Amino acid sequence: MTQARGQGTEPAGDERDRDQDPGPDRNPDQDRSPERDLSLERDSSPDRDRDRAATVRVFIALAPPDEAKDELETALRPAYDAYPRMRWNRIEDWHITLAFLGELPVGTVPPLRPPLADLAASHGPVELALRGGGHFDERVLWSGIDGDVDGLHRIATDVRRVVKECGIPFEDRPLRPHLTLARARRDDRSSVVDVAAGLAGFTGRPWRTERLHLVASDFGRGPGPIRYRDIEAWTFDGR
């Protein structure tokens, strides 16, 4: 089995842009949504609603199940206590990006739904696991992906083909499967390196991908932490 590991490669668009958002410190004991999925939305002003009506920031992803998140959260709890100034991602937002599409006119999103539904129906689940840790340029902390990484790449390749066939331009960077956990403050890069080293021995339980997620984020739409919501998600039904 192969594993996504390594340091220093610039993250994909959603990871790179999120590093620019100051965001509040994460409280690991904060209330979490019951489903803990990519689904929580924010209130906004009428002006922001008008802005959102024109465009939406979109990516396509997989999400680990709650049991896998719980294991990793437990492993990270000493780091939450030791490094409270790091910008920790909300656990319900943890995801593995397959394709980052960026800011799109809202009218370009509906045509993605039928072919993505067909894609999910034609693919069976793949077995993955969260394992180890690393960082991008001492700024972004991530956990690695183990298991059927070849199967993950096949899904990502088909996802990106669908996006291109829908005529949506996007930055088609090589896939480095990972799950982003936190970002360093600009004046404290060493914390990410230390936490990544502490995760080196982490090995999570295997889990099967359940659904393909078409996700919207509210990056750049007001102060506060970024929130994600599912536009739609489809079960992997293939054999």
Each residue's pLDDT tens digit in the chain (239 positions)?
Answer: 333 434 444 444 444 444 333 333 344 444 343 334 443 333 445 555 555 558 889 999 999 999 999 999 999 999 999 999 999 999 999 999 999 999 999 999 999 999 999 999 999 999 999 999 999 999 999 999 999 999 999 999 999 999 999 999 988 889 999 999 999 988 887 899 999 999 999 999 999 999 999 999 865 555 556 678 899 999 999 76
Question: CB–CB of 179/95 below 8 Å?
Answer: yes
Question: CB–CB of 100/17 below 8 Å?
Answer: no
Exposure pattern of 161-178 as b/e (b: 16+ CB <10 Å)? Answer: ebbeebebebeeeebbbb
Q: What is the dihedral of CA 131, 140, 190, 74, to 10 degrees?
A: -40
- For residue 206, the Cα-to-chain-centroid distance in whole angstroms is 18
- For residue 47, the Cα-to-chain-centroid distance in whole angstroms is 28
Q: Which of 123, 135, 178, 213 is catalytic?
A: 178
Residue 178 known to be catalytic: yes
Q: ∠ CA(140), CA(92), CA(39), 5° rounding?
A: 115
Q: How far apart are CA 23 and CA 16, in angstroms?
A: 14
Tokens 């990484």 belong to 149
Which pTM does this prediction carry?
Answer: 0.78
Q: How far apart are CA 97 and CA 145, in angstroms?
A: 12
Q: Which of 95, 123, 135, 213 is catalytic?
A: 95
